Amino acid sequence: MNRKYMAEPYRIKMVEPIRETTKEERITLLKNAGYNPFSLKSDDVYIDLLTDSGTGAMSQDQWAAMMIGDEAYAGSRSFYRLESVVKNITGYEYFIPVHQGRGAEKVFLPQLVTKPGMYYISNIHFDTTRAHVELAGARALDCVVPDCYDIEHWHDFKGNMCLECLENTILEKGKDNICGVIMTITNNSAGGQPVSMENMRETKKICDKYGIKMIIDGARYAENSFFIKEREKGYQDKDIVDIARETFSYADAFLMSAKKDGLVNMGGVIAIKNDRELFDKCRTYVVPYEGFPTYGGLNGRDMDALAVGLMEALDIRYLTHRIDQVRYLGDRLHEAGVPIQYPVGGHAVFVDCKAFAPHIPYDQFPALSVTNAIYIEAGVRAVEIGSLLLGRDPDTLKNRESKMELMRLTIPRRLYTYNHLDVVADAVIHVYEHRHELKGYQFDYESKILRHFTSTFKPI
Ligand code: F0G
């Protein structure tokens, strides 16, 4: 029997009760949180779709693996087990564990910034990646394909790098001023949209032509591999792990927040194909920032859980259900006429709040307004991905206007059921039907770096 959405390929053997609040309570809770959902206590959230990062459920095999974790400072068995899995999947020579993705960014990205006035170019930098580029004294430029902004229409690979933009940017800035090219897979800020293998290959050719390093920001590389298998000609019969290996073959380094496709609650990866000098530099810096290079801020047991999780995330049945859940929520909203980034990506449904609340200008944060409304409606926590997150221009300090104002309904891995997603869909559809009542927000307090996390707001 062919089902439209695959049922859970697991049984639930441990449960975590979740609390429901009343609408009146939520109005007060949100006010006390300065209208910033990041400041809500998770206990006051019924269904938490803030992020898919570190929020998934581990498997029995991962919990079992934790018991054999070896807590040695230097050279633990856990490290070597994880190293062999990372090397097996990537085909790379060098591996350094870190505590999470931004740890990898902090250690790795400054190594390629060799003078003032340099740039990283990405399909789209994730926000912490952008922050680390800027903290390292460089600037972050994005070159995603225009299809990405064609929100209503289907394109197979909306996350792709625009090759023309990439090459023009290299020529305009000068190849010696480019630190590296970062391919974010899937492209989180574009809506978790995939990047095709062909695009990886062509991007690598341009990098090689100008002698520039290509780096994969691969927090969701397994989900990206799934989309390649599903949509790209010639990949239907390939195994996910082989698709992943081919993907890595086109890059020189791999940075990963393992809190996503590593299926762990904490962890990160730096892997380097074969540049010994770069590896040595990273190994030097990881010590003061993250910890000794054989633990990098992780416990032995964390590394063992990750070694198992990395392989589980490449399982086709796991991935099919994972992507089906996201698709299910997307389909429910799409069928109700709610504007979303279509098709949905791998980890979230992105609601187009420019179309949802066109009466709210970008600097009053329409996606924050929708996000707050669905919290009040149903206790569902989502997150703004728009002009608030984009922040101010580091040179002019002006508010940057994001091309898209999105609310991300991020689905944690193996955590919620289709029934939970129905609650979410009903809430979003209800708010959509009352969208004309939505109001914008202004800052009460604005923090300087990554302002969306800690700022507070007032409704206008
Ligand atoms: N790169 C991408 C593409 C990410 O999505 C993230 C995190 C990071 C790097 C940084 O990793 O959180 O482990 O330090 N994304 C989370 C999210 C936070 O909600 O999308 P981290």
Give residue-wise pLDDT tens across range 248-291: 999 999 999 999 999 999 999 999 999 999 999 999 999 999 99
Ligand 1 atom closest to Cα of residue 51: 19
- DSSP, collapsed to helix, strand or coil, labels residue 142 as strand
Ligand 1 atom closest to Cα of residue 258: 13
Whether 100 is in the pocket of ligand 1, judged by its Cβ within 6 Å, is yes
pLDDT value of residue 94: 98
The Cα–Cα gap between 37 and 31 comes to 10
Ligand 1 mean position to 220 CA, how many Å?
A: 9
- pLDDT of residue 56 exceeding 90: yes
The Cα–Cα gap between 267 and 147 comes to 33
* Residue nearest to ligand 1 atom 10, measured at CA: 101
Overall size of the chain counted in residues: 460
Instruction: Report residue 253 CA to chain centroid gap.
Output: 18
The answer to whether residue 126 is catalytic is yes
Ligand 1 atom closest to Cα of residue 50: 19
Ligand 1 mean position to 172 CA, how many Å?
A: 29
Indicate the domain borders of the chain. Answer: 23-52+315-459, 60-312
DSSP code, position 214: E
Q: Residues near 445 by Cβ (< 8 Å), separated by ≥ 6?
A: 34, 455, 456
Ligand 1 mean position to 3 CA, how many Å?
A: 32
The answer to whether residue 304 is catalytic is no
Residue of 127, 142, 252, 304 marked active site? 127
Ligand 1 mean position to 68 CA, how many Å?
A: 28
CA atoms within 13 A on the CB side of 341: 32
Whether 102 is in the pocket of ligand 1, judged by its Cβ within 6 Å, is yes
The answer to whether residue 73 is catalytic is yes
Give residue-wise pLDDT tens across range 15-55: 999 999 999 999 999 999 999 999 999 999 999 999 999 99
pLDDT value of residue 34: 97
Q: State the average pLDDT over residues 308-318.
A: 98
Sheet holding 94-98, edge to edge: 94-98, 268-272, 253-257, 214-217, 178-184, 119-122, 139-142
Give residue-wise pLDDT tens across range 87-134: 999 999 999 999 999 999 999 999 999 999 999 999 999 989 999 999
pLDDT value of residue 448: 86
Whether 299 is in the pocket of ligand 1, judged by its Cβ within 6 Å, is no
Neighbours of 274 (CB within 10 A): 12
Neighbours of 97 (CB within 10 A): 30
pLDDT value of residue 12: 95
* Residue nearest to ligand 1 atom 9, measured at CA: 101
pLDDT value of residue 395: 86
CATH of 60-312, one of 3.40.50.1860, 3.20.20.60, 3.40.640.10, 1.10.1040.10: 3.40.640.10
pLDDT value of residue 393: 87
Give residue-wise pLDDT tens across range 373-426: 999 999 999 999 999 998 998 889 999 999 999 999 999 999 999 999 999 999
Q: State the average pLDDT over residues 333-351.
A: 97
Domains 23-52+315-459 and 60-312 in one fold: no
Backbone angles phi, psi at 329, to 5 degrees: -65, -40
**pLDDT band (50, 70, 90) for residue 449:** confident
Give residue-wise pLDDT tens across range 172-216: 999 999 999 999 999 998 999 999 999 999 999 999 999 999 999
Give residue-wise pLDDT tens across range 122-177: 999 998 999 999 999 999 999 999 999 999 999 999 999 999 999 999 999 999 99
383-385 and 406-410 strand pairing: antiparallel
Residue of 219, 222, 251, 367 marked active site? 219
pLDDT value of residue 394: 81
**pLDDT band (50, 70, 90) for residue 450:** confident
Give residue-wise pLDDT tens across range 218-246: 999 999 999 999 999 999 999 999 999 99
pLDDT value of residue 104: 98
Whether 290 is in the pocket of ligand 1, judged by its Cβ within 6 Å, is no
Ligand 1 mean position to 130 CA, how many Å?
A: 11
Ligand 1 atom closest to Cα of residue 347: 20
* Residue nearest to ligand 1 atom 18, measured at CA: 53
- pLDDT of residue 82 exceeding 90: yes
Residue corresponding to tokens 């707050």:
372
Residue of 126, 157, 328, 362 marked active site? 126
**pLDDT band (50, 70, 90) for residue 294:** very high
* Residue nearest to ligand 1 atom 13, measured at CA: 101
Give the homologous superfamily in CATH for domain 23-52+315-459.
Aspartate Aminotransferase, domain 1 (3.90.1150.10)
119-122 and 139-142 strand pairing: parallel
Ligand 1 mean position to 52 CA, how many Å?
A: 9
Amino acid code (one letter) for 158: K
pLDDT value of residue 260: 98
* Residue nearest to ligand 1 atom 20, measured at CA: 51
Whether 455 is in the pocket of ligand 1, judged by its Cβ within 6 Å, is no
- pLDDT of residue 1 exceeding 80: no
Mean pLDDT in the chain? 97
Q: Residues near 11 by Cβ (< 8 Å), separated by ≥ 6?
A: none
Pocket residue to mutate for ligand 1, from 188, 326, 408, most atoms within 8 A of Cβ: 188
Residue of 10, 73, 149, 453 marked active site? 73
Q: Residues near 120 by Cβ (< 8 Å), separated by ≥ 6?
A: 109, 112, 133, 138, 139, 140, 141, 178, 179, 180, 181, 182
The answer to whether residue 260 is catalytic is yes
Q: State the average pLDDT over residues 436-460.
A: 94
Neighbours of 144 (CB within 10 A): 23
The answer to whether residue 452 is catalytic is yes
Whether 225 is in the pocket of ligand 1, judged by its Cβ within 6 Å, is no
Whether 188 is in the pocket of ligand 1, judged by its Cβ within 6 Å, is yes
Candidates 152, 305, 273; CA nearest to 207 is: 273
Q: Residues near 159 by Cβ (< 8 Å), separated by ≥ 6?
A: 123, 144, 148, 184, 185, 186, 187, 190, 191, 192, 193, 194, 195, 224, 345
Give this prediction's pTM.
0.96
The answer to whether residue 217 is catalytic is yes
- pLDDT of residue 62 exceeding 90: yes
* Residue nearest to ligand 1 atom 11, measured at CA: 101
Whether 130 is in the pocket of ligand 1, judged by its Cβ within 6 Å, is no
